[in-house]
Amino acid sequence: MPYNNVRKGRDFEVINSEIHRIETVFSSSQYGSKRIQQLFLIEDNINFLNNGSFGATPRIVLSAQQFWREKMEMQPIRFMTKELPIYQRSALALLANFLHADVSSMAFVQNATTGMNAVIRSQMMKWSAGDEILTTNHVYGAVRNTLLYVASCTHATIIEASIPFPIMNEQQIVQAIESAITDKTVFLCIDHITSPSGIIFPIKQIIELAHSKGIPILVDGAHAPGMIDLYIEDLQPDWYTGNCHKWLFAPKGCAFLWTHPKHQKDTHPTVISHGYLLGYIQEFDWTGTNDFSAYLSISTALDFYAATGAATLRAYQSQKAIEIRNLLSSVWNTPLASPDSMIGSLAAQQIPSHLWPDIQDHQAYAEALHDVLWEKYAIEVPVIAFSKTIWIRISVQVFNTDEQYHYLAEVIKKMRKKEILAMMKSKNQA
Ligand SMILES: Cc1ncc(COP(=O)(O)O)c(C=O)c1O
């Protein structure tokens, strides 16, 4: 049954006509307006400045997800065995088109962590004592753990190229990676947009560097889809994984893994199921019984993303993130941490000096500061211990308002260290 026929079903007509209404909401109101906020379920009267961690799914996309769940439950056997393979490939074709990627190299995975694990744990069979796996000090914590796990299995060594933060220019990133490459380096694992520092790496240059040295490269693009325009076939990495639930408005549990054709035979999902040795697509399309509705909702997520203005939204997000970090920098009197060109929808700013911790455990201090912001001021924003200091990383999403960022700036400016230390104490006693 062609995918398009399914989309003509009664429920989908409602969803499609709702998308047209949403287009007019975006074309007639400003980002951050009440009408746009109402397209989401985010609670009223909170300052939700952390789209970056898990994204926020619009109501319309959740309705589409429910449509797919109901469709599955109407005849589960027919759905799983006959319809799902077709729907899933159709959904992947839409996503591939959006990413400028060849659909035959694409697979859905539940999240970037799963994509990273699939590649790293497939490739580890080739690694042994003496081999070096190169990443950077900006690597995401869960990916670092995956690398530590494979190091313990293979006795390969994990090397972290040290990239300064604050940073002056892109060349510092390329140079730090290049100077950490040795004749023992067998694999590169590099972020496209970093988690703790929220900066965009010059990934094309890094991929070219890896290939000039004959080293395969896995790109962690967890934050990239929707935040920046992606042309995966032009980048030509060896592998690329990215989330659709962070910046592309998909339901949670919707991500992809792109694998270069030359690696598809030896790239396997971490969970092996019926598709083993039947080819890349079959292996990844089924890794056991699951709720596939997040994948199938991608068409509605892409429609919603288009309705936001897409290119206009991306330009707005980076311009707003730059404006807000400039504001935080001047109110908190801490330096800007990167050139504007490295900023997408995220920006990290160092906290003011009157709040710098004088304790060893920066992680516990960051967690306590987070909890003070949330519990006393209803501000949800990540507080990150990184590069020997404490950072606050703001996100810019369509529902955020200038007032929320100004409130954050003032709350932090007026906060006293004793509030944070008291929170630490109360958590220790709990
Ligand atoms: C750079 C990076 N990689 C991987 C992940 C993991 O994403 P997920 O939890 O969706 O697997 C994140 C999440 O924030 C991230 O920022």
292-337: pLDDT as tens digits: 999 999 999 999 999 999 999 999 999 999 999 999 999 999 999 9
- Which atom number of ligand 1 is nearest to the Cα of residue 116? 4
Please determine, for residue 67, whether its predicted confidence score (pLDDT) is greater than 80.
yes
Q: Is the four-CA dihedral 264, 267, 271, 277 of positive or negative sign? A: positive
Q: How far, in Å, from the CA of 422 to the mean position of ligand 1?
A: 31
50 CB within 6 A, ligand 1: no
Q: Where are the domains of the chain?
A: 1-104+270-278+287-308, 112-244, 311-429
Mean pLDDT is lowest, of 165-174, 176-185, 338-347, 355-364, for 355-364
- Which atom number of ligand 1 is nearest to the Cα of residue 243? 10
Please determine, for residue 354, whether its predicted confidence score (pLDDT) is greater than 50.
yes
| Three-class secondary structure of residue 252 per DSSP | coil
Please determine, for residue 84, whether its predicted confidence score (pLDDT) is greater than 80.
yes
* Exposed / middle / buried, residue 326 (Cβ in 10 Å: 0-12, 13-18, 19+): middle
Residue 86: which of 273, 275, 277, 285 has the closest Cα? 285
The pTM for the full model equals 0.96
Strand 383-386 to 106-109 pairing:
unpaired
Higher pLDDT, residue 243 or 16:
243
Q: What is the rounded CA–CA span in Å between residue 429 and residue 136?
A: 36
Q: How confident is the model at residue 14 (pLDDT cuts 50, 70, 90)?
A: confident
Residue 304: which of 87, 20, 30 has the closest Cα? 20
CA angle 199, 339, 173 (to 5 degrees): 55
Please determine, for residue 243, whether its predicted confidence score (pLDDT) is greater than 50.
yes
Share of the chain above pLDDT 70, in %: 97
Q: How far, in Å, from the CA of 146 to the mean position of ligand 1?
A: 12
Q: What is the rounded CA–CA span in Å between residue 255 and residue 53?
A: 14
- Which atom number of ligand 1 is nearest to the Cα of residue 255? 10
Neighbours of 395 (CB within 10 A): 28
CATH architecture, domain 311-429: Alpha-Beta Complex (3.90)
Please determine, for residue 9, whether its predicted confidence score (pLDDT) is greater than 60.
no
For the stretch 8-17, contacts whose Cβ atoms lie closer than 8 Å and that sit 24 or more positions apart, written own/partner, are: 9/67, 11/63, 11/67, 11/70, 12/64, 12/67, 14/63, 15/60, 15/63, 15/64, 15/67, 15/300, 16/303
The residue whose C-alpha atom lies closest to atom 12 belonging to ligand 1 is 222
Q: What is the rounded CA–CA span in Å between residue 349 and residue 355?
A: 13
CATH architecture, domain 112-244: 3-Layer(aba) Sandwich (3.40)
pLDDT digits 0-9 by tens, 252-273: 999 999 999 999 999 999 999 9
First to last CA, the chain: 56
Q: How far, in Å, from the CA of 226 to the mean position of ligand 1?
A: 14
Q: How far, in Å, from the CA of 191 to the mean position of ligand 1?
A: 10
113 CB within 6 A, ligand 1: yes
* Omega before residue 166 within 30° of 0, cis: yes
Encoded amino acid at 79, one letter? F
346 CB within 6 A, ligand 1: no
Q: How far, in Å, from the CA of 29 to the mean position of ligand 1?
A: 31
- Which atom number of ligand 1 is nearest to the Cα of residue 245? 10
pLDDT at 12: 81
Q: How far, in Å, from the CA of 52 to the mean position of ligand 1?
A: 9
Q: How far, in Å, from the CA of 371 to the mean position of ligand 1?
A: 21
Torsion-angle region of residue 6: left (phi > 0), alpha (psi -120 to 50) or beta?
Answer: alpha
Residue 71: which of 297, 300, 251 has the closest Cα? 297
167 CB within 6 A, ligand 1: no
pLDDT digits 0-9 by tens, 140-183: 999 999 999 999 999 999 999 999 999 999 999 999 999 999 99
Encoded amino acid at 244, one letter? C
| Three-class secondary structure of residue 60 per DSSP | helix
Mean pLDDT is lowest, of 8-12, 92-96, 226-230, for 8-12
Strand partners, 107: 257
